[in-house]
Structure 1
Amino acid sequence: MNFRINWEALGIAASVACAIHCAVVPLFITSLPLFGVNIIHNVFVEILLLGAAFVIGFSTLWHGYKKHHHHWGTLVPFTVAMGLFTANQFVKFPYSSFVFVVPAVALIITAHMLNHRFCRQANHCHSTDCNH
């Protein structure tokens, strides 16, 4: 059996999981302390989620870069976005989440859309610098 991972689908799934996490956590803020669970503002959990999102997202974009389009325009906005997410964890001031998270989400969406577009435009050229 030949099993291949669809990195683009995995990256999109990780982004959706992150979006669900960010949307659902506020809904449970008031009920989690009743159960003795404290994952909100838990630095370990947030760093773990950021790390997983970075590894999966960067792997997806790296695959598109290395195997298809050879364009850095996808990796740079994604890396900047992950830096903004990380800064949001450690730099706190009024509206810091708005200042860091909104541009980060926009950059991640842009990176994945560009990756998709560049992969379609490359049309699997199989030139001498392609390694597939």
Structure 2
Amino acid sequence: MKAKTQTYDIIAMTSSLICAIHCAAVPILLSFSSLSSLHFLHNPIIEWSFIGLGIVFVFISLWPSYKKAHHNSRPLLIAAVGFGIIALGRLDFSEAWETVNTVSGAILVSVAHFVNWKIMPSKADHKH
């Protein structure tokens, strides 16, 4: 189970970091008039796809790890806080509000997968 979960955690960490970079960089890139053709990157479909992908990885990585391996709720709590912050970012206060909350939340989701990856017991830890 560790190898499969580690693979999911690595993919999830990477996708969460890509989401954070995307959310931080797009407003900056769009502010330059010569890059206005990149406006398609600020697309709700892309944003919701990243959020959906993150939720899928919680259910295929963090939850099974918690139930079957380490019984440590810390990764789940970190991910829940991260998604909560992302949800707060969806409130339409300002572009900066959305960016800061979405980037912070995505980083927390990535941290949750990193913590999960670190606390997974290895085969060397298994004793008969």
TM-score, normalised to structure 1, is: 0.65
Whether 1:89 aligns to 2:90 is yes
The residue identity in structure 2 corresponding to 1:82 is F
Whether 1:50 aligns to 2:54 is no
Give the superposition deviation at 1:81. Answer: 0.7
TM-score, normalised to structure 2, is: 0.66
Matches within 5 A, 1:62-77: 62-77=63-78
Q: Is the 8 A contact 2:13 2:109 kept in 1?
A: no
Give the superposition deviation at 1:72. Answer: 1.2
Gaps of 5+ in 2: none
CA distance in 2, matches of 1:77, 1:90: 21
Gaps of 5+ in 1: 128-132
Give the superposition deviation at 1:82. Answer: 1.0
CA distance in 1, matches of 2:37, 2:107: 35
Higher-RCO chain (CA-CA 8 Å, sequence separation at least 6): 2
Q: Is the 8 A contact 2:79 2:109 kept in 1?
A: yes
Q: Is the 8 A contact 1:74 1:114 kept in 2?
A: yes
Shift in CA distance, 123/91, structure 1 to aligned 2, threshold 3 Å: farther
Count of residue correspondences: 122
Structure number, greater radius of gyration: 1
Give the superposition deviation at 1:45. Answer: 3.0
CA distance in 2, matches of 1:58, 1:44: 21
The residue identity in structure 1 corresponding to 2:21 is I
Give the superposition deviation at 1:113. Answer: 3.4
The residue identity in structure 1 corresponding to 2:16 is S
Q: Is the 8 A contact 1:69 1:118 kept in 2?
A: yes
Q: Secondary structure at the match of 1:90?
A: coil
Whether 1:80 aligns to 2:73 is no
The residue identity in structure 2 corresponding to 1:66 is K
Aligned-pair identity in percent equals: 26
Shift in CA distance, 74/32, structure 1 to aligned 2, threshold 3 Å: same
